[in-house]
Structure 1
Amino acid sequence: MLKILTNNRLFFIFFLVWVLFGAILQLISSPTDLMFLINQHHSLELDAFFRFVTTLGEDTIWLILLLALLYRHFVKKVKQTAIVKFLLISWILKVLVSLFLKNIFNHPRPIEVYQNSGRAINLVEGVTLHHWQSFPSGHTTTAFAFACFCAIVFRKTSLSIILLVMAMLVGFSRMYLFQHFPRDVFAGSILGVAVVVVMAKFFYKKEEISA
């Protein structure tokens, strides 16, 4: 476990900053204040940007990476067996854990809570709002798990930081689009990283899961 953390120290340092900042923000502000602070600072450009960014938290990114690894394995003849197993198990596990928690808690989403509050809500055209299963944020879990997986496997600092920033933007987009509360995003980010780190502990062999 220590080797995983030290080999990717910059990624985990920035992730720790994200976690600490999120925790402090939630301690000093109410969910309602945070939701409307984010939602009310909007524009047509931001609406379009975050509508796109949120799609980066869908499982399509895992499928694309899987196909790329399989291409390298079967066409380029670069051995990727352990990495593919690591990816598949991490991917499936994060889906199962996220769905399990969503069904166990079944918390209402922001639109369900505030739709009759009388407060102005910025709704982005083309975005379908869900009303339940808010905790945790599945998109955020997916994005952070993907970023962590790539950091561990590819060990490229610049790529790791870019993907981590992408994951943060995905998490922010879920609040901007009024799909999730801060707690959902906060929990989703920790869950995504935790699942991949736990799996990496069992798979970790430098010559096998480092591409």
Structure 2
Amino acid sequence: MPAGAASCSLVPERSAGRAFPRSLPFKTLASPAVNELAILDAIQLIHTPWLDALVAAYTSTSDVGQIWILLGIVLAIIPKTRKLGAAVLVAVLIGAIVTSGILKPLIMRPRPCDVNPLVPMIVDRPHGSSFPSGHATAAFAAFGALLFSKGPKPLVIVVGIGAVLMALTRLYCYVHYPTDVLAGTVVGLLAGFAAAKIVEAASRKLQERRSQSHT
């Protein structure tokens, strides 16, 4: 761990002015299994200064989904991949609404670093609760959008690898449980599937209108 790294604790101003309630809805989801914390503790054994710096830098590129939003914008600018870019942007938006707008406030699972605040942190404690992982959701939303839109295979593979690595950084950083990441993966893939269908339907309708206007 880097010298002077801060430990994570549930500070009121970092949790929208409130601590996590003891009596929570969806108690099963709000209380992760003990062995999940053991997995995260085991991961702490592989920390090295260079890996800490690399992981912290990469995970920060998706603090607000910016790396995937940028990918969508770049693809949308290129005429041949415009539909792919639109699908990625729609997928990331859907994933954010479901994850941050619905599931996180509903389930309010404390983060691992809230439960075990003595673990030194390589990143600041993220805002909000733990379940599901917003980083994993955004990453797999982008991947799912490309996959279900039948994007170029090399691009799909690269983004898929990037999504897996992004999900793993959240475990390494001690800010998410494995089930947070797994749930984010599922939500992201579903968002990607929905976005691919939405963009395809919108594109088809637009083409029909254009063909009708020329007749």
Provide TM-score, normalisation by structure 1: 0.69
User: d(CA) in 2 for partners of 1:79 and 1:143?
Assistant: 19
The structure number with the bigger radius of gyration is 2
- Residue 101 to residue 115, structure 1, CA distance change in 2 (3 Å): same
**Matched letter for residue 163 of structure 2:** A
- Residue 63 to residue 87, structure 1, CA distance change in 2 (3 Å): same
Equivalent pair of 1:137/1:187 in contact (CA under 8 Å): yes
Counterpart for residue 94 of structure 1: 95
User: d(CA) in 1 for partners of 2:154 and 2:161?
Assistant: 11
Q: How many residues align?
A: 170
Q: Which runs of 5+ in 2 are unaligned?
A: 1-31, 205-215
User: d(CA) in 2 for partners of 1:169 and 1:83?
Assistant: 22
**Matched letter for residue 74 of structure 2:** A
Counterpart for residue 51 of structure 1: 56
Deviations 1:55-108 (A, max 9, x none): 3434212332343244334xxxx583x545434432221110011100101110
- Residue 129 to residue 144, structure 1, CA distance change in 2 (3 Å): same
Provide TM-score, normalisation by structure 2: 0.68
What's the secondary structure of 1:135's corresponding residue? coil
What's the secondary structure of 1:30's corresponding residue? helix
What pairs up with 1:184-203 in 2 under 5 angstroms? 184-203=180-199
Q: CA RMSD in A?
A: 2.7
- Residue 79 to residue 110, structure 1, CA distance change in 2 (3 Å): closer
Counterpart for residue 22 of structure 2: none
Once the two structures are TM-superposed, the CA of residue 193 in structure 1 deviates from its matched residue by: 0.6
User: d(CA) in 2 for partners of 1:79 and 1:141?
Assistant: 22
Q: Which runs of 5+ in 1 are unaligned?
A: 1-25
Equivalent pair of 2:126/2:175 in contact (CA under 8 Å): yes
User: d(CA) in 1 for partners of 2:37 and 2:95?
Assistant: 28
Higher helix share: 1
Structure 1 runs of 4+ aligned residues shifted over 4 Å read 82-85
Counterpart for residue 105 of structure 2: 103
User: d(CA) in 1 for partners of 2:58 and 2:145?
Assistant: 19
**What is the aligned counterpart of 1:158 among 122, 130, 154?**
154
Counterpart for residue 125 of structure 2: 129
Counterpart for residue 20 of structure 1: none
**Matched letter for residue 142 of structure 1:** A
What's the secondary structure of 1:52's corresponding residue? helix
What's the secondary structure of 2:78's corresponding residue? helix
Equivalent pair of 1:134/1:184 in contact (CA under 8 Å): yes
Deviations 1:15-66 (A, max 9, x none): xxxxxxxxxxx99x81121110112221001101111221343421233234
**Higher RCO (C-alpha under 8 Å, 6+ residues apart):** 1
- Residue 85 to residue 161, structure 1, CA distance change in 2 (3 Å): closer
Counterpart for residue 141 of structure 2: 145
What's the secondary structure of 1:94's corresponding residue? helix
